[in-house]
Amino acid sequence: MNTPLLAELTTTGVGGAAHSLVRATTDEQIITTIRAADATGTPLLLVAGGSNLLIDDAGYPGTVLQIATEGVHIGKTLSDGRVRVEIAAGHPWDDVVAQSLAAGLSGLEALSGIPGSAGATPVQNVGAYGSEVAHTFLEATVFDRSTGTVSNFGTAALGFGYRDSLLKRTTTNGSPEFVVLSVSFALEASSQSAPIRYAELARSLGVGVGERAAARAVRETVLALRASKGMVFDPTDRDSCSTGSFFTNPIVPASALASLPADAPNFPVDTPGMVKLSAAWLIDRAGFAKGFGLPGTAGESLGGGRASLSTKHTLAITNRGQASSADILAIARAVRAGVRDRFGIELHNEPLLIGCEL
């Protein structure tokens, strides 16, 4: 059976063919496909926006389920005055943000421009510019593959952490036990944003950290900031042909700061005695500038090379036109080793690696 290259379903544009590909536009199709795969022991890969996957060029030996359900429903006002918004798992995330603001609701504006689908956002507690999904999340409706039933998980049940949740942790051979069918958020009926938590965003808006601004202005500012870093997906901009941030910001014991330069950025986290470092700063200070490439993965001209760090942001590893999964991983390994050698800090990949490893 001929199937499209999985590269066509990802923002990095890397990945071979699947043994079979099913595009599901209803929850019933999603559940039927999962049950059929599980009944025969067929490996299953879920794809929606494809923005957090690096798939091997050998392709995928099982069933690829493309979740393409769509729909945004503005629901009832909750007891605390916030408004429930329910979204189908396959709906493009940035459209969710735009629709919520058009409906006079705020809370998601700092998450503007993030590629991918709504159903993927709670899996790793997607976040940016001081905001994260956990701040406004209400519940997820999921299909439980172990019991064959549909159930709802609230915030407490998902155990959100930094780029982490129960949904991400509960997998078998890289395939999730709980498949998200829809997600719900509780948003404020306000034209004002949630409090601004990120210093760069606050400066750009001309407000102080902790203050509010017009929600639409926050969205426009975030989109501009992300675009300046190649973090708004645009197929014509090779700097955006990536998984976004390839590495998470390391969370380390506060004692580790003693061995780092005094100007190393660090941020508080909920875990006592721990701090969060800037992966981008570590990468840059370890000697990996924007546009860094390797012989065989990037040529003298970035436009003609195959893979490199983004020319706009050191956290993104980009496909310059003809990159393979091996090209992307070669850059990632070099960067990880360089940061480890320079600072003793181990970087960890943020995207899922399918059929390959770092």
Contact 305, 311 (CB under 8 A): no
**Separation between Cα atoms, residue 166 and residue 105, nearest integer Å:** 28
Residues known to be catalytic: 163, 245, 350
- In angstroms, the Cα distances linking 35 to 9, 24, 32, 148, 190 are 23, 13, 5, 8, 42
Cβ contacts of 10 within 8 Å, gap of 6 or more? 47, 50, 51, 53, 54, 55
Phi-psi region of 15 (alpha: psi -120 to 50; beta: other; left: phi over 0): left
Beta bridge partners of 344: none
Contact 83, 77 (CB under 8 A): yes
Tokens coding 144: 């439980």
Tokens coding 97: 């943000």
Tokens coding 267: 């941020």
Give 90's DSSP letter: T
Nearest to 156 by CA among 147, 146, 148, 166: 166
